[in-house]
Chains A and B, each alone.
Chain A
Amino acid sequence: MTTTPAAQRPAGALDRAAAGEPANPAKRTNRQRPNYWLSAVAIVLFVVVFLVPFAFVVVTAVKSGPEASQLSLSWPSEWRIVENFWAVVEARDYLLVIAFINSTILTVASVALMVVVSAMAAFVLQRRASRWNGLINFLVLSGLIIPPAVVPTIWVLQGLGLFRTMVGLILIEIAFGISFCILLFRAFISTIPRELDEAATVDGAGPVRVFFQVIFPLLRSVIVTVVVVQSVVVFNDFVNPLYFLPGERNATVQLTLFNFQSQFNTQYHLLFMNILLITVPPLVMFIFFNRRIVAGMTSGAIKG
């Protein structure tokens, strides 16, 4: 397994590392003055490379149809935010609203269950050494590397009567997300002293109570990380809904956007309004949980 220094530390320190704060702040900060020349170049470069595409999405989304179809980065001559918003929302019998409801159900249900299920597994995996651990660790890593086999998965879902159902897709998202979550939880649980569970057991608590009342609450910080990261992943997922939940009225936001691409191919203002709307949830997540996401993704990544 790859281990970087960051990986060996619990999430708190990781946050700091990922946010780029020196582990020992006093030492580095006063070493140099900011390099103004380099800063200017960097800022211009970053704005052009990373901001312009988003600016393009925004200005196109608020323009009128004919103006948007010129595909230029010009300032909108008239702002049509509300009109375009309603036009997209109403398109194809409020399909986008249905899609947002579907995506919300999918994201909330799968992430919530994923958290519980993998925290339980990670707890036992970390605490109880057994000859199965090697196999389990191997399986967990496999989940990160092996591409899922599509049609056989459909075949299994169909056998269970879950193909083309939301429940089926939720279970799929959980199954494909478990590996990442277990790795994160296991690393974090290793920082919780065993004495805590032992003390609780001595107090007469059974394993369920030990886990849900003692350990689970202590996992809060890593749970937030897992929830945020996986929410973004599931919300943005395109492939699994495409394969496992086909059908027009079942669409999730990503599928709807994909289908709008041909539907709106001459109405760029509506297409980009759709993109804009779909970008809002991850943006909100990003604004509130920037460091969490970065920490989670780097530590999860490092484990992979």
Chain B
Amino acid sequence: MAARTATGRPRIGVLLAAAAVLASTACSAGSLGSSGGTEDGTVTLTFQFGNEPPASLIGQALADDFMAANPDIRIETETRPGGTEGDNIVKTRLATGDMTDLFAYNSGSLFQAINPQQQLAPLTDEPWVGSLEEQFRNSVTAGNGVYGAPFGSSFAGGVLYNRNVYQQLGLQVPTTWEQFMANNASIEAAGIDPVIQTYGTTWTSQLFVLADYHNLTTEVPTFAEDYTANKAKYATTPAAVQGFQHLQDVHDAGYLNEDFASATFEDGLRQVAAGEGAHFPMLTVTVATMVENSPNAAQDVGFFALPGNDAAENGITAWLAAGVYVPTTTAEDSAKFEAAKRFLAFIASPAGCESATRVAPPAGPYPVEGCTLPADVPQAVKDVQPYYDQGASSPALEFVSPVKGPSLQQITVEVGSGIRSAADAAALYDQDVEKQAQQLGLPGW
């Protein structure tokens, strides 16, 4: 027994010592060397954005180009996962006071959901605020304060379609839902999947509902206001149920690709580019990824607005650019805050737009005065411009109302898979939204 004691103890001792050493270093490997400060006169800022292109590319390009011109400021970039996972990281890090010095995040309702008036530093008096496009400025405004600079370009929601398929079958771009369904019928007869859905990436299921907002608001112009005030509901507004109904219709008609339940969003982009499927309801922000994966898509894939009831009112639902924000914690350090403001001024300038364009072809116009689009853009992006020129666009509901439920993507997957009816789904979404409105403390809920 004595022998055992002798051999046993040192090993355990070593283990404990190792543990103590490791515990006393007290940090994880990932945070090594990331402490910022003002030694040697340079200011270090941390900047967080999404980890998927184009956001990841744009964030890095903005940081690199700004640092090249401003050697006294160092910007360390950090990425976070997309979707609800990323939302959660932003929310908890802000709430616990350890957000990065700057971060890019959605404008509109998601921006409202992070309690900007308590957690973000107002930038209302910055000179560049005056050069922002009005819709964008509203989408980063809470109370009387403006809180964000634009991150990337705005983009549109509608339908990506394969132009070769249209050409071969002699089809016209539809401006009403009837025409769209008629096109689908001929496409199916030709042995091509009329509509692509990709529920392996759940957020893509929402497009039929979200991108239908232009049609909804042209029919019921007061919807956003009444909806925010809890006076209008999806379930009781026929024009609002319509988005869900369209999704159900394409499923019931058997127009979806065979692997809709498991396909991912990259699969969908590939299918529409290859002409295996004709229509893919999508955001134009994905065009850059599509063209990178399938270079032919630059010419072969076009875009049209999600059709509604009235051809005369046909138009796109627009997503406004994301914003770059400064948490109040950064504003407490005046040197950092000054540096952050200089970075924001760069972002909200034509030079900033150029940085973004350099790495990711814009999916729509930039919301900054003086920024221009390059001449050579993919066809799908080119197709968006006429809608803007004719004024046939409305910002998506999430930019005009802070009310957005977190479970819409699961609900639309159920509708598109035939698990739940459109009417039922609209009612369920109304319940989902109620939680969000109450959490935000909106009046009337």
Q: Which residues of A contact B (CB under 8 A)?
A: 98, 101-102, 105, 108-109, 112-113, 116, 154, 158, 163-167, 170, 216-218, 220, 223, 227, 245-251, 259, 262, 265-266
Interface contact A167-B15, CB-CB below 8 Å: no
Q: Which residues of B contact A (CB under 8 A)?
A: 1, 4-5, 8-9, 12, 15-16, 18-19, 22-23, 25-31, 34, 51, 78-81, 88-89, 92-93, 96, 98, 200, 264, 266
A217 and B13 CA atoms in complex are apart in Å by 11
Quick one: which of A113, A217, A227, A247 contacts B30, CB cutoff 8 A? A247
Known contacts A116-B16, A249-B78; is-contact A109 B96 (Cβ 8 Å): no
Interface contact B30-A249, CB-CB below 8 Å: yes
A167 and B88 CA atoms in complex are apart in Å by 21
CB distance from B366 to the nearest CB of A (A): 28
| Chain A residue contacts of B25, Cβ below 8 A | 105
| Chain A residue contacts of B27, Cβ below 8 A | 165-166
A98-B29, A158-B96, A245-B28 known; 16 new pairs, CB 8 Å cut-off, are A101-B28, A101-B29, A102-B30, A108-B18, A108-B22, A112-B16, A216-B9, A216-B12, A217-B5, A217-B9, A218-B5, A220-B4, A246-B88, A247-B93, A249-B78, A262-B81
| Chain A residue contacts of B81, Cβ below 8 A | 248, 259, 262
Known contacts A109-B23, A164-B98; is-contact A251 B92 (Cβ 8 Å): no
CB distance from A94 to the nearest CB of B (A): 10
Interface contact A164-B96, CB-CB below 8 Å: yes
| Chain A residue contacts of B9, Cβ below 8 A | 216-217
| Chain A residue contacts of B80, Cβ below 8 A | 247-248
The prevalent SS among residues of B at the interface is helix
| Chain B residue contacts of A102, Cβ below 8 A | 28-30
Interface contact B78-A248, CB-CB below 8 Å: yes
Quick one: which of B15, B26, B96, B266 contacts A163, CB cutoff 8 A? B96
| Chain A residue contacts of B12, Cβ below 8 A | 216-217, 220, 223
| Chain B residue contacts of A265, Cβ below 8 A | 200, 264, 266
Quick one: which of A105, A167, A218, A223 contacts B29, CB cutoff 8 A? A105
| Chain B residue contacts of A116, Cβ below 8 A | 16
| Chain B residue contacts of A246, Cβ below 8 A | 88-89, 92-93
A102 and B18 CA atoms in complex are apart in Å by 14
A194 and B49 CA atoms in complex are apart in Å by 61
A205 and B332 CA atoms in complex are apart in Å by 56
| Chain A residue contacts of B8, Cβ below 8 A | 217, 220
The prevalent SS among residues of A at the interface is helix
| Chain B residue contacts of A109, Cβ below 8 A | 19, 22-23
Closest to A214 in B: B5
A294 and B5 CA atoms in complex are apart in Å by 25
Closest to B80 in A: A248
| Chain B residue contacts of A248, Cβ below 8 A | 30, 51, 78-81
Closest to A171 in B: B23
CB distance from B89 to the nearest CB of A (A): 5
A227 and B16 CA atoms in complex are apart in Å by 12
Quick one: which of B1, B28, B264 contacts A250, CB cutoff 8 A? B28
CB distance from A39 to the nearest CB of B (A): 39
Closest to A242 in B: B85
A–B complex contacts, Cβ < 8 Å, 30 sampled: A98-B28, A98-B30, A101-B28, A105-B28, A108-B15, A108-B18, A108-B19, A109-B19, A109-B22, A109-B23, A116-B16, A163-B92, A163-B96, A166-B26, A167-B23, A216-B9, A218-B4, A218-B5, A227-B15, A246-B88, A246-B89, A247-B93, A248-B78, A248-B79, A249-B30, A249-B78, A250-B28, A262-B81, A265-B264, A266-B264
A247 and B98 CA atoms in complex are apart in Å by 11
A216 and B4 CA atoms in complex are apart in Å by 11
| Chain B residue contacts of A163, Cβ below 8 A | 92, 96
A108 and B23 CA atoms in complex are apart in Å by 9
| Chain A residue contacts of B264, Cβ below 8 A | 265-266
Closest to B16 in A: A112
Known contacts A217-B4, A217-B5; is-contact A166 B16 (Cβ 8 Å): no
Most buried by A among B1, B18, B29, B96: B29
| Chain A residue contacts of B89, Cβ below 8 A | 246-247
Interface contact A266-B88, CB-CB below 8 Å: no
| Chain A residue contacts of B92, Cβ below 8 A | 154, 163, 246
A98 and B88 CA atoms in complex are apart in Å by 23
CB distance from A220 to the nearest CB of B (A): 4
A266 and B289 CA atoms in complex are apart in Å by 14
Most buried by A among B19, B28, B29, B92: B28
Known contacts A112-B15, A112-B18; is-contact A170 B23 (Cβ 8 Å): yes
Closest to B270 in A: A266
Closest to B83 in A: A262
